[in-house]
């Protein structure tokens, strides 16, 4: 059974909920603009993003004086796009996919490779074909480098990417064998890249290369099928596996519905996934206009990046200098989420793992810096409680309403209502 659509028009609280989940946060005007609209049309409009980037982004990774500086500029440029860009759902999805198709700047230290990776996540953010998405990711120099498939050669297979393709990107653990990993690695031999290697070539664009002389053209048996499989065949078979629909749908539910997804709802999305042949856009449109989505309130602990970006977008996207924005990327890292550097190859665990004594203190400090200090943006028209909490009359409304704009905004931003989406 697919997910049931929301039948009513959106209330103001519905609209606030939608924007907190899909746009990091929003102003009162943006919330009111969605109230009274049909849930399906709102979801469809949010997903109708293009690939344009915000002009006048102050961060250019190609100007980095070394690999480390270039990586910092890449993080700054991405945070800038999340905060000021016209397509917040695209960036929210790119962030989600970066925690699925994981790479890390501990190994990928090339600016064009990182740009190519982020570009692919944006292009396929609501992909009509998960197979094509996965295939493009598999051939990205950033992924080839991170999971060592650039070292995968005939007679000396490297199994790293083959393993993660199954364990983390498609079927999940328990739906493949070690033989599948080995045979998949054989099929993926020869996929590598040229250029852009080493610290002196961090600005040189690497290019995917299929070195046929290094490919094992022999017969393989993979996920129950046999043939002289190539890398393209392996991606096709892995993405078409019956459990891939369930495994990836669960990831989408964690991103948009709940840190602990309802399995019945996940099954609904998986059914739509299979019916549409892995059309992620169709799954997302149904998901973001469903009764299940609108019934799921305060079920996701905002990640550090989502907390920071949500605060800035709720405040109306105030202008900050480049140094402040770069500092915010580092602050997110100290809170447990350094962009393009997940904890492990399986990504950030999220949920309750985001919150401990030190990270909670940092959240309080971020909120204070945005509201109470002399460098805080002007709050002549502070956000309403609806924008800050998703509720027109939250439990602390009487107390908060009696406070001045800056104090009320600060206390709202450190409240559970703001930190939970």
Whether 192 maps to a domain, the answer reads yes
Q: Side-chain half-sphere of 324: how many Cα atoms within 13 Å?
A: 13
Residue 252 lies in a domain: no
In a domain, 4, yes or no: no
Count: domains in the chain: 2
Q: What is the pLDDT of residue 381?
A: 84
pLDDT of 151? 97
Residue 314 has pLDDT above 80, yes or no: yes
Q: What is the pLDDT of residues 55-94, one digit of tens each?
A: 999 999 999 999 999 999 999 999 999 999 999 999 999 9
pLDDT of residue 394: 76
Quote the mean pLDDT of the chain. Answer: 96
First to last CA, the chain: 26
- Local confidence band at 398 (pLDDT 50, 70, 90 cut-offs): low
Shared-domain flag, residues 335 and 216: no
Q: What gap in Å lies between CA 375 and CA 357, rounded to an integer?
A: 26
**Facing residues of 156 across strands?**
153
Give pLDDT, residue 397. Answer: 67
C-alpha to C-alpha distances, 392 to 15, 30, 382, nearest whole angstrom: 12, 15, 15
**Residue tagged 């945005």 (tokens):** 370
Calpha distance 12→379 (Å, rounded):
22
pLDDT surpasses 70 at 308: yes
pLDDT at position 374 is 87
In a domain, residue 204? The reply is: yes
Q: Are 93 and 83 in contact (CB under 8 A)?
A: no
Of 184, 212, 240, the residue that ends a domain is: 240
Task: Band the pLDDT of 119: cuts 50, 70, 90.
Answer: very high
Chosen domain end from 240, 266, 296? 240
- Reported confidence tier of residue 127, pLDDT bands at 50, 70, 90: very high
pLDDT one-digit tens code per residue, 193-209:
999 999 999 999 999 99
Q: Is 148 left (phi over 0), alpha (psi -120 to 50) or beta?
A: left
- Give the residue numbers spanning the domain of 390: 304-419
216-230 residue pLDDT tens: 999 999 999 999 999
pTM of this prediction exceeds 0.95: yes
Has residue 179 been placed in a domain?
yes
């Amino acid at each position: 059974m697919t997910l049931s659509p929301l039948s009513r028009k959106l209330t103001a609280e519905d609209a606030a909920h939608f924007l907190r989940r899909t746009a990091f946060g929003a102003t009162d005007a943006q919330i009111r603009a969605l109230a009274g609209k049909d849930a399906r049309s709102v979801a469809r409009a949010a997903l109708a993003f293009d690939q344009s980037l915000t002009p006048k982004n102050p961060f250019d990774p190609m100007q980095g004086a070394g690999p480390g500086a270039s990586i910092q500029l890449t993080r700054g440029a991405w945070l800038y796009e999340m905060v000021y860009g016209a397509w917040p759902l695209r960036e929210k999805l790119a962030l989600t996919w970066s925690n699925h198709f994981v790479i890390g700047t501990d190994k990928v230290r090339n600016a064009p490779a990182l740009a190519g990776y982020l570009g692919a996540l944006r292009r396929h953010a609501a992909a009509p074909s998960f197979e094509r998405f996965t295939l493009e990711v598999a051939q990205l120099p950033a992924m080839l480098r991170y999971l060592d498939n650039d070292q995968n050669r005939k007679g000396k297979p490297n199994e790293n990417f083959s393993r993660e393709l199954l364990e983390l990107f498609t079927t999940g653990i328990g739906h493949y064998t070690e033989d599948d990993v080995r045979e998949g690695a054989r099929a993926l031999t020869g996929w590598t890249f040229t250029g852009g290697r080493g610290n002196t070539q961090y600005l040189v664009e690497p290019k995917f290369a299929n070195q046929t002389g290094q490919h094992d053209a022999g017969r393989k048996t993979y996920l129950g099928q046999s043939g002289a499989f190539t890398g393209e065949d392996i991606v096709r078979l892995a993405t078409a596996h019956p459990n891939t629909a369930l495994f990836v749908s669960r990831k989408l539910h964690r991103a948009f519905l709940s840190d602990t997804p309802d399995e019945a709802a996940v099954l609904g999305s998986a059914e739509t996934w299979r019916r549409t042949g892995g059309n992620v856009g169709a799954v997302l449109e149904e998901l973001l206009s469903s009764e299940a989505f609108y019934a799921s309130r305060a079920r996701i602990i905002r990640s550090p990046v989502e907390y920071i970006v949500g605060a800035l977008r709720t405040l109306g996207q105030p202008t900050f200098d480049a140094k402040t924005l770069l500092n915010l990327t580092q602050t997110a890292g100290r809170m447990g989420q350094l962009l393009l550097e997940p904890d492990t190859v399986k990504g950030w665990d999220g949920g309750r793992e985001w919150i401990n004594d030190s990270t909670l203190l940092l959240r309080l400090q971020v909120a204070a810096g945005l509201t109470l200090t002399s460098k805080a943006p002007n709050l002549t028209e502070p956000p309403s409680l609806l924008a800050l909490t998703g509720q027109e009359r939250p439990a602390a409304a009487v107390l908060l309403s009696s406070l001045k704009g800056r104090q009320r905004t600060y206390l709202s931003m450190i409240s559970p209502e703001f930190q939970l989406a």
